[in-house]
Amino acid sequence: MSNYPMLNVFWTMLEFFLWILWFFLLFKILTDLFRNHEMKGWHKALWIIFVIVLPFLGVLVYVIVHGRDMSQRDVQQAQQADAAFKSYIRDAAGTSGSGGGSHVDELSRLAQLHSSGALTTEEYQKAKDKLLA
List, as one string, the DSSP characters of the chain: --SS-HHHHHHHHHHHHHHHHHHHHHHHHHHHHHH-SSS-HHHHHHHHHHHHHSHHHHHHHHHHHHHHHHHHHHHHHHHHHHHHHHHHHHHHHTB-TTS-BHHHHHHHHHHHHHHHTSS-HHHHHHHHHHHH-
What average pLDDT does range 88-108 have in this prediction? 68
Regarding pTM above 0.75, the answer is no
What average pLDDT does range 8-19 have in this prediction? 93
Q: Report whether pLDDT(120) > 50.
A: yes
Rounded CA separation 108/106 (Å): 5
What phi, psi does 95 have (nearest 5°)?
Answer: -110, 160
Q: Quick one: pLDDT at residue 2?
A: 65
Greater confidence, 94 or 92?
A: 92
